[in-house]
Amino acid sequence: MIVTTAQLFKHAYGKYAIGAYNINNAEQAMGLFKGCISSKAPFIIQISKGARKYTDKKMLEAIIRSADEIFPEAIFAVHLDHGDEETCYDCINSGFYSSVMIDASHDPFAKNVEITKRVVEAAHKKGLSVEAELGMLGGVEEDIKVEEGHACLTDPAEAQEFVKQTGCDSLACAIGTSHGAFKFKGKQSLHFDVLKKIQDRLPNFPLVMHGSSSVPKDEVDRINAAGGQIKDSMGVDVNEYLPAAKLGVTKINIDTDGRLVWTRVHREFFRDKPAEFDFRPPGKIFIEEYAKFIASRNVLLGSAGQLDDLRKSLGK
Ligand code: G3H
Ligand code: 13P
Ligand code: ZN
């Protein structure tokens, strides 16, 4: 069942975080739904601009609608990840999305406010909520690379002013994470002091943590043992998910880790069976492995086991 992102946030706020997982194809969708059903967790499906281009935005929509039929017990929202203004309007007008993210965080504050405000106005007219971003994460997004030195943490006072001026419904904050597999050089930790200050200024307001993959060492080691060359990778400490949730982070974005599971499964499969060329056997393994991974993340986020209570609170 597709619900609004606001309904998920209301149930989760201050207690646990909803896992927001990116999908690009049917195998990822199957693994995601299976993992969320087995762990009894609500979730958010995120679709990036890159994903909408990869096959076709309509294909992704059809995959999600079908998954909803195959797994009628699932409760989830559909969200545009890192949208520009034009893509936000396309998603808002499609009638399919629960929420959109307008990411104008690379623009100066006033321009970010101006763009976000326009998207909020259009989205609210159609009952969608809007995630905006303030501050700059390091790392790589689809077509934007932010060098470590240019990343900047969200300023709590600015965050309060930004939400007031834009009317956005949730805020992606930069608190030390970055996109991709190379998040920290040296000390691995979130800036809980900054997060606490943001929550103090924005009580009961849903915050979002991007760049939250944990980049598991055993996963990377297995990839490298099967021919990969991923060096100096480091992710978020999974033990920091729940403490962040208690400070108002209601949505935790995880994409890179799923790509690592895919890479490990396929590299090992073809290393061990070099004469194989049917993509379905490794695809099948990937679905099961991704489902296990998703379930394990939902446990760490505290969303595992919340499905029945959420259903009751929604009166369904
Ligand atoms: O933040 C970016 C997400 O991981 C999506 O990545 O733009 O390559 O689909 P993508
Ligand atoms: P990761 O690269 O850490 O998985 O972050 C994903 C993300 O923030 C998607 O918006
Ligand atoms: Zn992101």
Q: What are the contacts of 108-117 at 24+ separation with CB within 8 A?
A: 109/134, 109/158, 109/162, 112/162, 113/162, 113/165, 113/166, 115/85, 116/162, 116/166, 116/168, 117/165, 117/166, 117/167
Average pLDDT score over residue span 207-236? 98
Q: What is the pLDDT of residue 184?
A: 86
> Does the structure show a pLDDT above 60 at 28?
yes
What are the tens digits of pLDDT across the range 157-168?
999 999 999 999
Q: What is the pLDDT of residue 146?
A: 55
Residues, beta carbon < 5 Å, ion ligand 3: 210
Which of 22, 45, 105, 256 has most ligand 1 atoms within 8 Å of CB, for mutation?
A: 22
Task: DSSP for 107-135, please give it.
Answer: S-HHHHHHHHHHHHHHHHHTT-EEEEEES
Which has the minimum average pLDDT: 146-155, 236-245, 258-267?
146-155
What are the tens digits of pLDDT across the range 87-142?
999 999 999 999 999 999 999 999 999 999 999 999 999 999 999 999 988 655 55
Q: Centre a 10 Å sphere on the Cβ of residue 220 and count the other Cβ atoms it contains.
A: 21
Determine whether the shortest distance from the Cβ of 213 to ligand 2 is under 6 A. yes
Q: What is the pLDDT of residue 188?
A: 74
The length of the chain is: 316
Question: What's the one-letter identity of residue 28?
Answer: Q
213 Cα nearest atom in ligand 2: 3
What whole-number distance in Å separates Cα of residue 61 and Cα of residue 265?
A: 26
* Cα separation of the two ends of the chain: 10
> Does the structure show a pLDDT above 70 at 147?
no
Give the pair of three-digit tokens for residue 157. 């006072």
Average pLDDT taken over every residue of the chain: 95
Determine whether the shortest distance from the Cβ of 256 to ligand 2 is under 6 A. yes
Place of tokens 């800036």: 191
> Does the structure show a pLDDT above 70 at 30?
yes
Place of tokens 């930004």: 162
Are 189 and 153 contacting, i.e. CB atoms less than 8 angstroms apart?
no
Give the pair of three-digit tokens for residue 219. 């996963």
The pLDDT-based confidence of 172 (bands split at 50, 70, 90) is: very high
Is 143 tagged catalytic? no
Number of alpha carbons in the 13 Å side-chain half-sphere of residue 53: 7
235 Cα nearest atom in ligand 2: 3
Q: What is the pLDDT of residue 74?
A: 98
Place of tokens 């009166």: 315
54 Cα nearest atom in ligand 1: 9
What whole-number distance in Å separates Cα of residue 301 and Cα of residue 254?
A: 11
Average pLDDT score over residue span 173-178? 94
What whole-number distance in Å separates Cα of residue 27 and Cα of residue 58?
A: 16
Q: What is the pLDDT of residue 171?
A: 98
| Catalytic residue chosen out of the listed positions 68, 81, 90, 221 | 81
What are the tens digits of pLDDT across the range 268-303?
999 999 999 999 999 999 999 999 999 999 999 999
Q: What is the pTM of this model?
A: 0.96
Kindly provide the b/e burial profile for residues 179-218, where b requires at least 16 CB atoms within 10 angstroms of the residue's own CB: bbbbbbeeeeebbeebbebbbeebeebbbbbbbbbbbbee
Are 170 and 197 contacting, i.e. CB atoms less than 8 angstroms apart?
no
